[in-house]
A and B are shown apart, each in its own frame.
Chain A
Amino acid sequence: EMQLVESGGGLVQTGGSLRLSCAASGFSFSSHYMNWVRQAPGKGLEWVGRVRGIADNYATDYAASVRGRFTLSRDDSKNSVYLEIKSLRTEDTGVYYCTRDRSWDDAFDLWGQGTMVTVSS
């Protein structure tokens, strides 16, 4: 069964840091770009960023709202993707989803259950 499992969320004070992890199983992880999408409580979906594969030198793209504070990385040997978050703000509160990106249409065809990040002042 194809699966994405996020971990690492929790309660953090403003200005703090977190490292979210996403473990993939059941598919060829290295063949896919991987994304993070977040959702503030009661709000819509917001694309956070994407990390490409080895053929693209693991290049990353970010939403403007997180650029400079968030860092995406991946370890294909561990079938995992990571999201390092620094200088957390209250507006970073929400569920963070890891998603698989299909190469031919860039649709997100596999989602994890998400990990909750709560930033408290």
Chain B
Amino acid sequence: DARVTQTPRDKVTEMGQEVTMRCQPILGHNTVFWYRQTMMQGLELLAYFRNRAPLDDSGMPKDRFSAEMPDATLATLKIQPSEPRDSAVYFCASGPGQFYNEQFFGPGTRLTVL
């Protein structure tokens, strides 16, 4: 049963610390998406990749967030420095790389910045 995996599942950190979240997309999927979910803002698309190249990162605060795909099996989202307003659940999703196709979501990383 192919699934998107994310680590860590939970992260508590102090303001100013660097946070790295990792995602392993489903094997064979070539699009990867990062979302953030909060009660106030709902589900927001931060960035997405196709064939490891960033296609759109307009939803991401550029000064502190960065997203990369070092290889086809790993996507990372980094926050440096973290702030309390970054507290949220961060989801990774992958897709088969065709227009109009569904995305498959990971279980999420719950980030708390104190």
Do A and B interact?
A: no
